[in-house]
Structure formats: structure tokens, C-alpha cells
Amino acid sequence: MSTASEPLLRVDGLTVAFGQQLPVVRGVRFEVMPGETVGIVGESGSGKTMTALSIMRLLPPGGRIVEGSILFAGLPLHQFTEAQMRQLRGGDIAMIFQDPFTCLNPVMRVGEQVAEAARLHRDRAEGNPNELALQMLRAVHLPDPERIARRYPHELSGGQRQRVMIAMAFICHPRLLIADEPSTALDVTVQLQILHLMRELQQQQGTAVLLITHDIGVVAYTCDRVLVMHRGEIVEAGSVYEVLEQPRHPYTRQLLEAVG
Amino acid sequence: MSDTPLVQMRGVKVYFPLSRGEVVRAVDGVDLTLQPGEAAGLVGESGSGKSTLARALLRLLPLTAGEVWFGGKPLHRLSERELRPLRREMQMVFQDPMASLNPRMRIADILAEPLLVHGIAHGRQAKEEAAELLQRVGLPREYLNRYPHEFSGGQRQRICIARAIATQPRLLVADEPTSALDLSIRAQIHALLRQLQQEMNMAILFVTHDLHAVRQVCSRVMVMYLGKIVESAPVERLFTAPAHPYTQTLLDAVLEPLPTKARRPRRLPNGDVPAAVRVPAGCRFHTRCAYAQERCRVEEPLLQPAGEAHEVACHYPLRQKAV
């Protein structure tokens, strides 16, 4: 078990490749402290999503960790079996993706899906999973949670579906949340609501967040620290104030100019 | 404003009936004017009706009501056949360049096709024009013999733009042309659109959800909400002195790339956009508006002047900053 001064996640020398091709992630090294929000920003093909998927050990077929280590609360995830990983996923490590539609089961009522997460990863002593699910749907500020719980994913708006995803992610009080473009598919007004909600729950539960995005505004709004990735490598890292207000790497400057 | 408008839409409605007698009011009474050579933005969130309105302008969708005039001609009254010669004067660029390029055609043929169809050029001359078009959008002529899959997303969008300007249109409708592209590429495409608009004196209707993009391309912006234009203003005016509470909500939701700015105190938007089958009575924004009064729930506001070239549809527009 890590203490507050120990990193919750420590990625060191991570190199990921597909087959015999050149690595898509090269020698990536970073840490995430408990409760901290770290952003990985980069354009498509920068390796940011592959970095996140390696931590979850969910690389697409053909992809593998060639080198490096991933320590989560001291546990060597890079050596874990699939069965061990399954214990962690959705429990101590939760995930949110860009498109909630593809992550939700289309033929299952959303209340049951949220309850299932509780059933898998929470002690029965903590309460009835259905009750916990309703509490959680209320905590993500869905209007009329009892009614929403009986709905199917296609009956909800994009913003409501993302709230359901967030409820599923937080119902097990994860220590780390990996969010890959959680607000990219949403309209700006909904994006702001969703980011605000994530931060609210993160603060309540003391969750650390690893946020993957191409949107520098999202990083500036939510993150403590940021890693800038370009062609598989981290080219700049530091507090968001340092990196975004006084960028040193030419690539970071270029990214900022494009939005500035 | 002495010019005759290039486009005039009056009272345009586009409704889509659903099975249970419900009706989606995608565009619900829009008046819109575009001057020749003007770059105007049409901004709104998903479901606002902005793409439907753009397609209605080009008569790619049937109108439920209203009129569309293009260069003095009543598009709403013309048959498909009568429309065809006008098509070369109004072109369109879409979000996904790959889906709008035939993967089996070489770039030379893709670019020559509109020239052939409209009888502008053929044979060697068409090929020469295709090469010139490529150069105009910033690509080398050597690419003529390649296929679409050999290009990046940004290059493909340049090819789509080249094809669209092949007939020297007076209007280019660009529907989220850069939303699928990386940020650094977006800015380049925006600069290209702006450049072409000025060189060719071509009007652009730029449809987007991205306020930042509008600022890079347009000189005027119209904001749509649930099928209606709620505000129209010169671009800087809209950003510095929005009059409609919805415009302010949109601007307030933009996250700046600098942490000190991004973390400024801001009001969280209220609720979700209502469904277009259940458009609220009165002002359609009143269910989410922080300033709504009794009158807003019953009486629909019309577009009214709110300053120089500035119009707003609100009973209680935001107080204007001194400009």
C-alpha cells in the first residue's frame, strides 16, 4: 500500500510496439500521485491512447509492452495475468471513454449496468447493489434517477449517457480513473457540465485521474500536471501553469499556437 | 449593405415527421441573408438545425415552408433540372473528406469531374486546370496521379476544397470541414478557406460548433438554438458583447488553453437542450436561461436590432458593453 507521498501510478521506460514495427510509445516515464489529475495531451498518433491502454493492459491485438514497468500502488501491472487485471479493472482502476454508447450494453437497462459494477467489485455488506446504483445515478445529477435507471442507453442523450458512464466508473470508489477523451464527443455546454461533475466526484472520493485528450483547454481547466506527447515520446512535462503558460518545447508552442 | 444579397432565406422551415404524429422542427422559421463574398459563420450545438439549414439553402432538402433566393433566383420554385446549372455556383465541403472522395479515382479525375459535368473544360485542358486547382489549395501538382488513401486527413480536405472551387462558385457551404482534423491542421485549413474567399470573392457559409474556428474564418456569426437564429453579429462584437444569454452560455463554456483563464469563475450551463420534437413555448431558450421572466415563457421573441449590424431574439438582451 502506498502512502500519500508515494506515487499511486509509476510508469517507467514504457515502450509499446505492434509486431516488428517501430514502437508507437517509446521510453515513456511518469508518475501520478494519489488524488492528482495528470493530463496527457497530443495529436492523433502521438501515442497517448496507447499509453493509457497499456496501463489497463487493453492494447489492441498485436500490440505489446516491449519494455518498461507499470507499478500501480506497488503492483507490477506489466507482469499481471488477465485474471489479475480483471480484478482491478472497474474496481481500483476505472475507465471512461469518448463514446459512452459503445461502452454501454445496448440491451441492458442502465440502472442494472451500474448495479453490475457494484456487484462485481463492492462488498455486499456495503449495501444492495441496486440501491448503490440509484445513489450513484443521483450523485451524477441525473434528473429523476429512478426513471433513468429503467431506460436503455439509446433512450438517453449523449450527456446523460456520459453521466451514466461516470456513475459506473465511480461506484466502486476507484483509486485511479483513466479518462480517454471523456468530453470530446459532447457539445461545449455539456462538456463543461461533465468535466465539472468528474472533478466533483474525484474530490469527494480522492481519486487520481489520468486524462487523455487532444484538447488543451480541457487540460488547462482540469489538470494539475500535463505530459505533452509527440510521436510516441513525452516531449515536455510539468505543472499546467509551467507547460501551458511558459512552454519550452517547440512542439508544445506549436500546439498552443494552433489554439491561441 | 448596398449590394444585392447573394442569398436570402425567408421564413424557412424544415420539419421531419416522426411515426407517432410527432414532428421534429429542425429549422423553425429562419431569415438569413448572405452578401456576395461574405464569410459568415453558422454556430450551434448538435440538434440546433445548423446543418439542416445549410442543406435547405442548397436545396438538398425539401423546404416545409419559406423561400430561398440565390442571386435573385427563387431556388424554392425551381425544379431539379432548372437547379442543375446553378449547382456550379454553390458548392459544399463536408466533415469527412474520405467519405466524400471516391477511393478508386485518381486526384486528377476527381478534380476534373466537376469541370466535365458543367462543361467548363475537358481533355488536356481539364487536367491542366486540375493541376492548377491543386496548387491553389497548397498541394504539389505531382499528386495528380495519386489516390485519396495516400493522403492525410488535412490533405484530403484540401482536395475536397479544390474540387469545390473548381467551378468558381459564388457560394461555398462548409459543414464542419475541420472538426475531424487535428488542431494544427485545422488552423491551416481555416487560413486556406479565408484566403480563397478573399482571392475569389466567394461567399462562405461556415457551419460549425467550434467558436474558435468561426473567429479564424468568418467576419459575421449567426448563433442557432433549436431551429432558430437567436443572434447575429460581426465576429468580434459577438465575442466581446454578446446580447443573447445563450450566446453568453456558449462563450462561457469555451475552455481557454491557459490555466489562469480556463479556471476563471464561470456559470455552469443549466440542464440539457430540449428535444426538437418538444420545442418549449415562448422563447425556446427559457428553460435553460438564467434571466428568464414570465414573458419569456409565453411570447416568442423576434430578431431585433441590438447595435450596428447586430440582431438578437431576446426580450431582455444582455446589457451591452460600451464599444
Distance in angstroms (rounded) separating the CA atoms of residues A36 and A203: 10
**How far away is chain B from the Cα of A219, in angstroms, using its nearest Cα?**
8
Distance in angstroms (rounded) separating the CA atoms of residues B197 and B91: 13
Q: What is the dihedral of CA B310, B311, B314, B317, to 10 degrees?
A: 10
Average pLDDT, chain B: 93
CB contact under 8 A, B186 and A215: no
Helix (H, G, I), strand (E, B) or coil at B154: helix
Query: Cβ–Cβ contacts within 10 Å for residue B37, how many?
Result: 16
Q: Please name which of B11, B12, B28 lies closest in space to residue B278, comparing C-alpha atoms.
A: B28
Given a cut of 80, whether residue B2 has pLDDT beyond it is no
Distance in angstroms (rounded) separating the CA atoms of residues A200 and B190: 36
CB contact under 8 A, A221 and B263: yes
- The verdict on B249 touching A (C-beta cutoff 8 Å) is yes
Specify the amino acid at residue A107: V
Residues of B in contact with A163 (CB under 8 A): none
Residue B291's Cβ-count burial label (10 Å; 0-12, 13-18, 19+) is: middle
Q: What is the DSSP string of chain A?
A: ---TTS-SEEEEEEEEEETTSPPSEEEEEEEE-TT-EEEEE--TTSSHHHHHHHHHT-PPTTEEEEEEEEEETTEEGGG--HHHHHHHBTTTEEEE-S-HHHHS-TTS-HHHHHHHHHHHHS-GGG--HHHHHHHHHHHTT-SSHHHHHTS-GGGS-HHHHHHHHHHHHHTT--SEEEEESTTTTS-HHHHHHHHHHHHHHHHHHT-EEEEEES-HHHHHHH-SEEEEEETTEEEEEEEHIIIIIS--SHHHHHHHHHH-
Residues of B in contact with A49 (CB under 8 A): none
Of B184, B253, B263, the CB nearest to A188: B253
- The verdict on B215 touching A (C-beta cutoff 8 Å) is no
Q: Please name which of A222, A214, A217 lies closest in space to residue A197, comparing C-alpha atoms.
A: A222
Q: Which residues contact A259 (CB under 8 A, 6 or more apart)?
A: A216, A217, B183, B212, B257
CB A114 within 8 A of CB A153: no
Residues of A in contact with B216 (CB under 8 A): none
What part of B 143-182 touches A (C-beta under 8 Å)? 182
Distance in angstroms (rounded) separating the CA atoms of residues B64 and B164: 28
Distance in angstroms (rounded) separating the CA atoms of residues A177 and A195: 13
Residues of A in contact with B272 (CB under 8 A): 157, 159-160, 190
CB contact under 8 A, A187 and B273: yes
> In which residue are the cell numbers 450596428 written?
B308
Quick one: cell of B64? 416545409
CB contact under 8 A, B255 and A220: yes
pLDDT digits (tens, 9 = 90+) for B129-166: 999 999 999 999 999 999 999 999 999 999 999 999 99
- The verdict on A174 touching B (C-beta cutoff 8 Å) is no
What is the pLDDT tens value at each position of chain A, 260 positions in all?
A: 445 579 999 999 999 999 999 999 999 999 999 999 999 999 989 999 999 999 999 999 999 999 999 999 999 999 999 999 999 998 899 999 887 667 889 999 999 999 998 898 888 778 899 999 999 999 999 988 999 999 999 998 888 899 999 999 999 999 999 999 998 888 889 899 999 999 999 999 999 999 999 999 999 999 999 999 999 999 999 999 999 999 999 999 998 987 76
- The verdict on B260 touching A (C-beta cutoff 8 Å) is yes
CB B188 within 8 A of CB A257: no
- State which residue of chain A sits closest to B212, comparing Cα positions: A259
ipTM: 0.84
**How far away is chain B from the Cα of A253, in angstroms, using its nearest Cα?**
11
Given a cut of 60, whether residue B323 has pLDDT beyond it is no
pLDDT at B3: 64
Query: Cβ–Cβ contacts within 10 Å for residue B282, how many?
Result: 18
Quick one: cell of B266? 464561470
Quick one: cell of B243? 446580447
In our burial notation (b when 16+ CB lie closer than 10 A, e otherwise), range B236-251 reads ebbbebbbbbbbbbbb
Helix (H, G, I), strand (E, B) or coil at B87: helix
**How far away is chain B from the Cα of A113, in angstroms, using its nearest Cα?**
23
Query: Cβ–Cβ contacts within 10 Å for residue B132, how many?
Result: 13
HEC sequence for B255-283: CCCCHHHHCCCCCCCCCCCCCCCCCCCCC
Given a cut of 60, whether residue B269 has pLDDT beyond it is yes
Check the CA dihedral A232-A233-A235-A240 and report its sign: positive
Q: Which residues contact B36 (CB under 8 A, 6 or more apart)?
A: B3, B4, B5, B6, B170, B201, B203
**How far away is chain A from the Cα of B275, in angstroms, using its nearest Cα?**
9
Q: What is the DSSP string of B32-67?
A: EEE-TT-EEEEE--TTSSHHHHHHHHTTSS--SEEE
pLDDT at A77: 97
Mutation pick from B258, B267, B268, B287 vs chain A, by most beta carbons of A within 10 Å, is B258
- The verdict on A254 touching B (C-beta cutoff 8 Å) is yes
Of A159, A192, A259, the CB nearest to B183: A259
Q: Which residues contact B104 (CB under 8 A, 6 or more apart)?
A: B147
Given a cut of 80, whether residue B172 has pLDDT beyond it is yes
Specify the amino acid at residue B238: L
Of B183, B258, B268, the CB nearest to A244: B258
Q: What is the dihedral of CA A181, A184, A186, A190, to 10 degrees?
A: 70
pLDDT at A260: 67
Q: Are strands A225-230 and A233-239 parallel, antiparallel or unpaired?
A: antiparallel
Distance in angstroms (rounded) separating the CA atoms of residues A103 and A117: 13
Residues of B in contact with A187 (CB under 8 A): 45-46, 209, 273
